[in-house]
Structures are given as C-alpha cells and as structure tokens.
Amino acid sequence: MQRRSWRGPVLVLAMVALAGCGMATPVPAQVVPPAGQAGVSGDTLDANWVPAGYGTLRQDDIALKSSPANGLQIRAIPLDERFIRLLSPDSYRALRELQASKGAQLLAVKERNRLPSYSVWYVSFFALEQGETRFSPQEFIIANTGRDFRPLDIVPLTPGFGEYRLKQREVQSALLVFDGQIDLNQPVTAQLESVPSVTDWNTVLQRVERERALVRSRAAAKR
C-alpha cells in the first residue's frame, strides 16, 4: 500500500498555523505556562527556557508521526512550553490558546488522577483510505525513559471524536494527557497497534537545540 505524507487540512478549531516561518511581531515573553505541566516553570535559570515570540519552527518540526495501518496517519505534538516557544509566533499562539480553551478539563484530569505534573499532547488522526477507518486513542502509547506511557485521559477537540472512526481525509483531534514523568529531552517514540512512530526524536532534539540558540540570539538583538 502506498504511503503518502501528512496532508491533513488545517483544523479551524485548533487555529493551527502551519504556514510561514518568517518573523512576526513578538508575543510577550512573560507568558505563564499551564499549571502542573511537566518540567515547566517560570524559572529562567532553566537552560531550555527561552523567550516567546522569536521562533521559526513549524509544528511538524516537533511532532511525532506514525502510520499504523489502513491509511491511518497520526501526528502528535507535545504542548510543552520549552518546545512550542520555538514555533513561529502564530503557531505558538494557536497552541497556547487551544490548551487554554480546555484549561478546566485539564485541571479536572489533574485533580482526578492526583498528578504532581502532566504531559499534554495535541494528537490528530487522519484517514487516507476510502471507506471507514477506525482508531483507538487509548492505545496510543508513548515510550520514554524505559517506560510505556498510556493516556490517563482524553479531552476531545473535534465533534464526533468519541466515535473513533474516520471517513476518507477526515481529521479527528484531541488532547491526550499523560503522566508528567515523560522526559522530552530523552528519546521518545510512540506506537499504535504495535507499529512504532517513524519520527527520529534525536533529530527533533538537534533541531530544537539549534533553534533555541537562534531564539536567544534574536531576542538579544531585539533588546
């Protein structure tokens, strides 16, 4: 079966800005990260913490991608401030606003699971094949630090997500909440139906480190 690269439509609900890597007017750098998000604080001594509004990366540059079977394609983006601040300003704002719009549900998940921290991922399921394609977000597993992490909870973003089926070229998206023990600075893979993701996370980390250096340079020049 011929595989094609991700060509999913832009989701209006998520206000996803995939195009444009040029600089735009910087957003304020004093944005406070979502409470309880794994490993994120306002401590500027964190070497991975950079000002917001100076990034140029695309969402695909920090995404895990997988194609398990039947033309199903998956894209998962970690909504970690240390990573999404490296995106272009429009993409950064879109993902921040997306997460903020579900703040009450995410807080309820945290309280229900009594987590000290959590890792939130924006996950989209896209169908290429004709007919109906079924998917199971509960089986989307992230492997990291020698452990397998399953979703603790799911916050749907698109209507009909709970039906767990797709028509051709339909996209369904949700926020998947995982234990905050996931360390994005270590190798990360994901799998669905025992098929591992095709993204090399080490390549992602190299890209991220280069962009962090560039963001610091741009911010310093602006000041």
Compare 17 and 202 and report the one with higher pLDDT.
202
**What pLDDT shows up at residue 45?**
58
Residue type, 103: G
d(CA 98, CA 95): 5
Determine the residue type at 49. Answer: W
**The pTM of the whole model exceeds 0.85:** no
In angstroms, the CA 139 to CA 1 distance is 23
pLDDT for position 106: 94
Is residue 51 a contact partner of residue 219, using CB atoms and an 8 Å limit? yes
DSSP string for residues in 16-82:
---S--S--PPPPTTPPPPTTBTT--S-TTSTT---TT---B-GGGG-EEE--STTEEEEEEE--HH
pLDDT digits (tens, 9 = 90+) for 134-192: 999 999 999 999 999 999 999 999 999 999 999 999 999 999 999 999 999 999 999 98
pLDDT digit string, tens, across residues 71-130: 899 999 999 999 999 999 999 999 999 999 999 999 999 899 998 899 999 999 999 888
Q: Which fold has domain 59-222?
A: Immunoglobulin-like (2.60.40)
Q: Which residue has the higher pLDDT, 54 or 116?
A: 54
C-beta of residue 91 within 8 angstroms of C-beta of residue 18: yes
